[in-house]
């Protein structure tokens, strides 16, 4: 399994996710945003961070990078793309995923562990999770408030495109367990074909018992199963 | 040619920053303030004398980069 982590100026989770991928025996390479050709790869990872200092809109400038054309082609051909945190924001700005990510409802940067319900396990990213399993992952963002109109929300629900929803420890989904104001508690969404996943929580930060949990490991193990 | 563009959040999109500014103004005693929405302002200098062409370019700039059409609108002012 080959993976490519795309590095933008201001990415800061690129090496974390590279370590995670290597732990699970991915053949990983780092790809600088200014390259015009994507090397042969099965999985593209857009890492977290603050690409271009979040200028204009989060992920906006990065979404116009040279490498992006090839990433869009890769995605349209059915290649796997995982966007984490700022990577999710970049995916939204490229148009590969629909919706938008607004500033957190309470205007604060949030860095903490949250509970998530795995809403869709029929995709290559989540196949090893149990349906509706409650997992714990860290979030660390200022613009993670997922927003879209009601028609689009209905479409997401109808097409089973929601991968993760914020919930409490017991798996109960409510506004109290919603850290940032996201519509329908959405923490991660898939495209219609389910080969592109964008998520605000950081699976790469919870892959070792020494870091208080392994719920992130399951995502990488799911990808390996291909 | 100098052109300015104002990007604002659509009406039904929550604007927490605008809300905080609104509340702060009220706290400061500006009782007649009803609502505040925060946006972005751009000044763009174009090397283009044909106003029709300039208009097209600036519309394209707004659509492709300056706004996210899911949540934002824009207005253009020609000087």
Query: What pLDDT score does B79 carry?
Result: 73
Q: Which sign does the torsion angle of CA B77, B42, B7, B51 carry?
A: positive
State the pLDDT confidence band at A226, using cuts at 50, 70 and 90.
low
Asked whether residue A9 carries a pLDDT value surpassing 90, the answer given is: yes
Whether A212 shows a pLDDT value over 90: the answer reads no
- Of the listed ranges A36-45, A47-56, A132-141, B16-25, the least confidently predicted one is B16-25
CA distance B15 to B38: 7
CATH no. of A2-221: 3.40.50.880
> Is the CB of A60 less than 8 angstroms away from the CB of B65?
yes
| Token duo for residue A155 | 């479409």
Instruction: Give the pLDDT confidence score for residue A85 in this predicted structure.
Output: 98
ipTM of the complex: 0.75
Distance (Å, whole) CA A70 – CA A76: 10
Q: Do A105 and B14 count as a contact with CB atoms less than 8 A apart?
A: yes
Q: Is residue A183 less than 8 Å (CB to CB) from chain B?
A: no
Beta strands (DSSP E) in A9-88 are 27-32, 43-46, 80-84
Q: Which residues pair with A101 in a beta bridge?
A: A146
The verdict on A211 touching B (C-beta cutoff 8 Å) is: no
Q: How many domains does chain B have?
A: 1
Q: What is the DSSP letter of A57?
A: S
A136 to chain B nearest CA, in Å? 28
- The alpha carbon of residue A107 is apart from the nearest alpha carbon of chain B, in Å, by 7
What is the average pLDDT score of chain A? Answer: 96
Structure letter (DSSP) for residue B6? E
- Annotated catalytic residues of A are 85, 202, 204
Q: Distance between CA atoms of B3 and A195, rounded to whole angstroms?
A: 41
| Banded model confidence at residue A211, pLDDT cuts 50, 70, 90 | confident
pTM listed for this prediction: 0.91
CATH number of B66's domain = 3.30.1280.10
Q: Is A147 on the interface with B (CB under 8 A)?
A: yes
| pLDDT, tens digit, 9 for 90 and up, residues A97-114 | 999 999 999 989 999 999
In angstroms, rounded to a whole number, what is the distance separating the alpha carbons of residues A180 and B12?
A: 17
Q: Which pLDDT does position A44 carry in this prediction?
A: 98
Where in the sequence is the domain holding B61, given as residue range(s)? 2-78
Is A75 within 8 Å of A68 (Cβ atoms)? no
Interchain pair B71, A102: CB under 8 A: yes
Task: Find the residue in B nearest to A143 (Cα).
Answer: B16
Q: Which residues in chain B touch residue A99, judged by CB atoms under 8 angstroms apart?
A: 70
Q: What is the DSSP letter of A127?
A: T
């Amino acid at each position: 399994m080959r993976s490519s982590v795309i590095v933008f100026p201001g990415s800061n989770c690129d090496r974390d996710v590279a370590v995670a991928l290597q732990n699970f025996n991915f053949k990983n390479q780092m790809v600088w945003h200014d390259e015009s050709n994507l090397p042969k790869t099965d999985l593209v990872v857009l890492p977290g961070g603050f690409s271009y200092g979040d200028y204009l809109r989060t992920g906006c400038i990065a979404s116009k990078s040279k490498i992006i054309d090839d990433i869009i082609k890769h995605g349209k051909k059915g290649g796997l793309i995982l966007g984490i945190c700022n990577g999710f924001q970049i995916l939204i700005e490229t148009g590969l995923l629909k919706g938008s990510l607004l500033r957190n409802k309470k205007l604060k940067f949030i860095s903490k562990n949250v509970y998530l319900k795995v809403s869709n396990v029929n995709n290559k990213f989540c196949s090893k999770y149990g349906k509706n399993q409650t997992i714990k992952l860290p979030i660390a963002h200022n613009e993670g408030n997922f927003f879209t109109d009601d028609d689009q929300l209905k479409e997401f629900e109808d097409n089973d495109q929601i991968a993760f929803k914020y919930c409490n420890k017991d798996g109960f989904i409510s506004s109290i367990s919603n850290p940032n104001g996201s519509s329908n508690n959405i923490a991660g969404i898939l495209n219609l074909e389910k080969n592109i996943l964008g998520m605000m929580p950081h699976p790469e930060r919870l892959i070792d018992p020494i870091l208080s949990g392994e719920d992130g490991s399951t995502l990488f193990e799911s990808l390996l199963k291909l | 040619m100098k052109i300015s563009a104002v990007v604002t959040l659509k009406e039904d999109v929550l604007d927490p920053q605008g809300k905080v500014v609104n509340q702060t103004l009220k706290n400061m005693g500006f009782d007649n303030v009803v609502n505040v929405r925060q946006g972005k302002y751009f000044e763009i200098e174009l090397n283009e004398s044909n106003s029709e062409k300039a208009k097209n370019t600036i519309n394209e700039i707004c659509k492709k980069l300056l706004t996210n059409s899911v949540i934002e609108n824009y207005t253009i002012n020609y000087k």
